[in-house]
């Protein structure tokens, strides 16, 4: 996030870091990523960490409300830590109580990761062929790994389908929670038929989905990669879980050669319908998350402006593809 939270100060953050045995000499906000807030921290001995603050009100894939979202986040972080023996995981540190996420008030949860130097990317970036091959190989190793007992099951259904259906049903009444509310409502009203067609197609694809369940990352796009020389490492593990391999692969396979490379490494041939399902699921999850934001109290910030642009673009693309039978 570009803007740091205005209801949590450095004193509370430093207090939380002490639960991980960290006395931060330097603490700097890092305006990167989307959804979570991040800082870099350094101790007096020069050791560095990457600090993540999750907003539990916007973690529906971990749980529908803050309490269950925190439990789901701890389970996901524990899974990532259990996978740290794989040479592809930037795993969270453990706090004094053994947990990998610490509650900070009603709204937030804190996780801490070792700082790793490496090139980073962004969602939508096209990876070079060599990096794409490394990522396919990394996912093949992840998908062959023994699932930790803590790994949550990630079914194909939308994490907050009822909330998205409610937003569509409520499009005739004003949305007045903030400056983007009415714009979001008008957008939904103008494209309601296309969104319904997209949801109907999603339901048909999900009804026919089966296949092997493996440990998946959930969001292995370039924005969640660190690329030290000759390697790729995956960060941002709150979406980890047991699912079909295509949950990861739709984000990776730029051409048939990538998918063939994965099939050769694992023995599983990626299925077009499962890839299409997870591509569509990603878009619908984004629409739900943005609408939830704009139907809740919000202000006008750089993050809100970027989210509005992303929402508008995604809704229009869904409408167009639904109209083409996509």
Please list the pLDDT of the chain residue by residue as tens digits (326 residues): 888 888 888 999 999 999 999 999 899 999 987 789 999 999 988 899 999 999 998 898 999 899 999 999 999 999 999 999 999 999 999 999 999 999 998 999 999 999 998 888 888 888 989 999 999 999 999 999 999 999 999 999 999 999 999 999 999 999 999 999 999 999 999 999 999 999 999 999 999 898 899 999 999 999 999 999 889 999 999 999 999 999 999 998 768 899 999 999 999 999 999 999 999 999 999 999 999 999 999 999 999 999 999 999 999 999 998 655 55
Provide the pLDDT for residue 326.
56
Q: What is the pLDDT of residue 177?
A: 96
From residue 277, how far is each of 105, 198, 269, 273 by CA, in Å? 37, 11, 16, 6
Instruction: Assign a CATH topology to domain 161-211+272-323.
Output: Methane Monooxygenase Hydroxylase; Chain G, domain 1 (1.20.58)
Per-residue pLDDT, 121? 85
Kindly list the domain boundaries of the chain, sorted by start residue.
Answer: 1-115, 161-211+272-323
Please check whether the domain covering 1-115 is classified as CATH 3.30.530.20: no
């Amino acid at each position: 996030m570009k803007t740091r939270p205005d209801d949590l100060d450095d004193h509370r953050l430093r207090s939380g870091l002490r639960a991980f045995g960290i006395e931060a000499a330097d603490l700097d906000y890092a305006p990167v990523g989307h959804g979570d807030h991040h800082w870099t921290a350094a101790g007096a001995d020069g050791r560095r960490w990457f600090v993540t603050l999750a907003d539990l009100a916007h973690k529906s894939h971990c749980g529908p409300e803050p309490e269950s979202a925190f439990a789901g986040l701890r389970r996901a972080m524990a899974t990532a830590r259990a996978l740290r023996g794989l040479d592809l995981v930037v795993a969270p540190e453990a706090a004094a109580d053994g947990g990998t996420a610490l509650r900070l008030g009603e709204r937030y949860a804190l996780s801490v990761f070792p700082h790793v130097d490496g090139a980073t990317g962004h969602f939508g970036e096209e990876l070079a062929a060599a990096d794409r091959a490394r990522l396919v190989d990394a996912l093949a190793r992840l998908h062959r790994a023994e699932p930790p007992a803590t790994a949550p099951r990630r079914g194909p259904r939308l994490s907050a389908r009822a909330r998205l259906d409610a937003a569509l049903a409520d499009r005739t009444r004003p949305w007045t929670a903030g400056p983007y509310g009415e714009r979001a409502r008008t957008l939904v009203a103008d494209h309601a038929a296309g969104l319904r067609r997209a949801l109907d197609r999603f339901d048909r694809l999900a009804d026919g989905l089966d296949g092997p369940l493996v440990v998946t990352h959930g969001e292995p796009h370039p924005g969640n990669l660190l690329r030290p020389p000759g390697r790729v490492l995956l960060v941002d593990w709150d979406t980890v879980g047991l699912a079909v391999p295509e949950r990861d692969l739709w984000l990776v396979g730029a051409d048939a050669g990538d998918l063939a490379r994965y099939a050769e490494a694992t023995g599983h041939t990626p299925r077009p319908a499962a890839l299409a399902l997870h591509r569509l699921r990603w878009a619908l999850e984004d629409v739900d998350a943005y609408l939830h934001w704009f139907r809740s109290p919000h202000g006008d910030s750089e993050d809100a402006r970027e989210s509005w642009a992303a929402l508008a673009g995604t809704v229009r693309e869904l409408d167009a593809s639904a109209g083409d039978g996509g």
